[in-house]
Amino acid sequence: MNFTFDEETAEIRHNVQVFATVTFSLIFLLGMMGNGTVIWITGCRLQRTINTIWFFNLALADFISTFLVLVTVLYLLSDLHWPFGSTMCKLVNCIFGLSIYASILLLSAISIDRCILVLFPVWCQNYRNTRLVMTACMVIWILSVAMVPGSFTLSEMSVESNRSSCKNLDVFEDWEKKEAAIFTICIFLYQFLVPLCIILISYTVLLVTLHKKKLNRSSKPFLVVTGVVFSFFLCWLPYHALALARVSLGELPLMVSLVAVPLSKCLAMFNSCINPMLYVFIGREFKDAVKKSITQVFKTVFEEVPH
């Protein structure tokens, strides 16, 4: 989408670009350190349990997302000129799509797992084990790879006035093909609405069952899952809402494209670095924050609590 900028809009665009660069840089640093720590703790320092397997894979998906944020930072520092070529444009979009698909599928699977744990405790005691969860995670990653071709098809590099642009990585723009409208709606359905319905149904059944059986609802893994799910949908809601508005209206108002769209992308990417903070602050009392080592913190967060 091309606009004729006067001095005021050009200044707004520049300020938003600077803000986005700083924000994405912080997201990259926090996400790499936080998710890298979770991967190390759950993969190397803690005993392999069902919870550590779930959150190891979720942290891995978030780690991939935040690593790719570095590409966006370099893109912004180059004044939105894409110097990496068409192949890299497609590759980055595809890997980013893969990580997002994996994240939402893992969140859905974790929510279903918590629900099954309460509904069928006897079955879980006999069959719910680490091997089953590892198989489920492997299937989720395979399904995520199967969803990537859409991103590959629509991720194109365009050249205007000797400047190259990689669609969807530009904080001010998204895909422009006619097929992008259909793809946007599909992403909203299977990356947001359908998982949201699955998770809401799982949590409703879970809470009703806990209430009927008078079971403990304050276990730390349950609180962590609740926080992670809530933050995911809260961070991604503005992005999907603006994407659907763009499809419905054909184009967005100038100020919305200049300010709201970049901010929604910053918020969406912030989700990739917020989970490690949730693991720590939900998983322990504030008074014990200084006393516990980081390994003890994560052990407390991910330990299995009998119902």
Average pLDDT over residues 64-80: 89
What is the C-alpha separation between 172 and 17, in angstroms, rounded? 9
Q: What is the mean pLDDT of the chain?
A: 81
Task: Give me the pLDDT at residue 291, please.
Answer: 44
pTM of the model: 0.84
Q: What is the pLDDT of residues 157-175, one digit of tens each?
A: 777 666 787 876 766 766 5
Q: In the chain, what are the helix, strand and coil shares in percent, each to the nearest 5? A: 80, 5, 20
From 21-30, 126-135, 136-145, 224-233, the region with the lowest mean pLDDT: 224-233
Q: Could you tell me the CA-to-CA distances from 144 to 85, 88, 102, 191 in Å, in that order?
A: 25, 19, 5, 11
What is the C-alpha separation between 10 and 172, in angstroms, rounded? 13
The helix/strand/coil state of 194 is helix
Q: Following CA atoms 7, 9, 15, 20 in sequence, which dihedral angle do they give, to the nearest 10 degrees?
A: -150
DSSP for 35-74, please give it: HHHHHHIIIIIS---HHHHHHHHHHHHHHHHHHHHHHHHH
What is the C-alpha separation between 271 and 235, in angstroms, rounded? 6
From 29-43, 69-83, 200-214, 227-241, the region with the lowest mean pLDDT: 200-214
Tokens matching residue 295: 């390994």
Average pLDDT over residues 98-111: 90
* Better-predicted residue by pLDDT, 304 or 48: 48
Average pLDDT over residues 277-297: 53
